[in-house]
Structure 1
């Protein structure tokens, strides 16, 4: 394994290369890990030929991997002011008291030097979203959560 680092600072660029034992192992790793969550960031796993041009036989390497898609319902909430240690499974467990949690995404916003952790959760019905928003102002892992219903692209609350 080799982590790509900035030559001047030595800080990781957030990417690296892993050498697998065979093409089938590499395809399996891509199918299993591409798009998965690592510390709140979406991990991209690809063959190096996808990143570096000029390689031969790219089609043979890329024929089998299939991306696993996460289903998100239209009934979503935003949860803000979360602790850095918050994991998707922790939020799923906590918010399942309000209904069926269909999906959970925890994100880290490091832009503009702000250390914020927030998440989006989707539920199976609009009634569950309304109940879940009542968690606004409650404490989770020592932080007071901000919970809001997500507004869809048309500017309406999902109902």
Structure 2
């Protein structure tokens, strides 16, 4: 949820409802962790940025180690609105992996971005592929 008001509305409408013959229990995560309401935790801003992704998503491979999400956003924004960018990070090695994901606001923007597959970015030949959502198949 994007606000405490939306979360309270979701709890009010879903808690105790039936899903597939089972009763749903919907509570704030602070309630589940401590077993009691933690008003301070419920009214604070989320600690992590929420990433919204669209269904128009691409995989970008063969990235240089130094590429950051901002670099990808800047490069691919020429094809339209970039909703989200993510470069995966390898905690074990302490550096970026050589691939990432981008979401666009429309299918046309996604198609334009896919045409960059084979172009050079930060000294590396990009591999750009559409991400197929397996849930839709």
Same fold (TM over 0.5): yes
Please report the TM-score for the alignment, with normalisation by the length of structure 1: 0.54
Structure 1 alignment gaps of length 5 or more: 1-49
Relative contact order higher in (CA < 8 Å, ≥ 6 apart): 2
**Counterpart mapping for 1:3-18 below 5 A:** none
Partner residue, 2:41: 62
Partner residue, 2:52: 71
The total of aligned residue pairs comes to: 102
- Structure 2 CA distance, aligned partners of 1:110 and 1:118? 15
Structure 2 alignment gaps of length 5 or more: 1-29
Partner residue, 1:145: 126
Please report the TM-score for the alignment, with normalisation by the length of structure 2: 0.62
The alpha-carbon deviation at position 93 of structure 1 amounts to 0.8
The CA deviation string for residues 69-113 of structure 1, in whole angstroms up to 9 with x for no partner, is 2221110000011111111111111001111111111113477xx
SS at match of 1:97: helix
The alpha-carbon deviation at position 148 of structure 1 amounts to 0.3
- RMSD in angstroms over aligned alpha carbons? 3.0
